[in-house]
């Protein structure tokens, strides 16, 4: 969801953008890598031809996932383009299992696009870390979050503009901008890394190790998961069947 504010050029969004821009990933990649340990060069022809995995290969992939033989899941690559508020990227980069390149506020003037939580976004944290849940806020709290976020964002961007107009360097002027300003980046990872990311950044019933992600990074993770499951359906099914634990 995106909308313009009364202030010229200011835009507020309540969503994130995730696009798969390049991939070399299939279930067959897992199988070639696993079978080379017993078949050696006999796997070369099938690997070179890019032979697709069949339903008969499901058992091997499930075995690898269940017994956590993880390295065969690394011989693939997916590159995503992500637009999200900066505080989401800071959580992304806690995962040192991917390659990142983000737009720079030193080299370009940042666009006035800011995140504001949608009305349905839960606002109340109940319980203690590790055993808590988020619940909807009151209408008054929803209104307070929306109004305060918009006001602070507008004031911060106006301060940023004043410094730029006065000739202050972009790398200095940007220090007044809030964490809810949008940025963009490319992130590249393999399926094993992505499964680790999804296990921590999505909340699902029946997982072996429950997670409590912030909703905004979960929104990114959900879109990445949707793209991945189309590429590697057997691996995806095994991941879910085994409690969504990265091998």
Residue numbers annotated as active site: 201
Give the integer Cα–Cα distance in Å for 45 and 50. Answer: 9
Residue 77 has what DSSP assignment? E
Closest CA to 20 of 183, 188, 199, 182: 188
What's the start-to-end Cα distance of the chain, in Å?
36
Backbone phi, then psi, for 79, in 5-degree steps? -115, 125
Give the integer Cα–Cα distance in Å for 233 and 25. Answer: 11
Q: Is the separation of the CB atoms in 72 and 25 below 8 Å?
A: no
Half-sphere exposure of 243 (CA within 13 A, CB side): 10
SS3 117: coil
109, two tokens: 């003037």
């Amino acid at each position: 969801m995106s909308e313009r504010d009364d202030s010229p050029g200011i835009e507020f969004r309540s969503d994130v953008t995730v696009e798969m821009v390049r991939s070399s990933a299939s279930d067959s990649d897992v199988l070639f890598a696993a079978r080379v340990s017993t078949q050696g060069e006999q796997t070369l022809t099938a690997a070179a031809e890019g032979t697709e995995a069949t339903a008969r290969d499901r058992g091997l992939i499930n075995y690898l996932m269940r017994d956590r033989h993880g390295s065969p899941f690394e011989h693939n690559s997916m590159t995503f383009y992500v637009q999200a508020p900066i505080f989401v990227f800071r959580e992304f980069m806690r995962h040192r299992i991917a390659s990142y390149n983000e737009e720079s506020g030193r080299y370009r003037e940042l666009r006035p696009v800011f995140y504001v939580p949608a009305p349905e976004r839960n606002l109340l944290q109940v319980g203690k870390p590790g055993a808590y849940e988020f619940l909807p806020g009151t209408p008054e709290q929803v209104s307070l979050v929306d109004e305060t976020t918009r006001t602070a964002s507008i004031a911060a961007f106006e301060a940023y503009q004043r410094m730029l107009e006065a000739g202050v360097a972009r790398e200095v002027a940007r220090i007044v901008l809030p964490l809810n300003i949008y940025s963009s980046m490319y992130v590249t990872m393999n399926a094993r890394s992505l499964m680790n990311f999804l296990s921590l950044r999505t909340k699902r019933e029946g997982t072996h190790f429950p997670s409590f992600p912030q909703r905004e990074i979960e929104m990114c993770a959900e879109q990445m998961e949707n793209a991945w499951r189309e590429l590697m359906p057997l691996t995806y099914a095994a991941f879910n069947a085994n409690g969504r634990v990265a091998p």
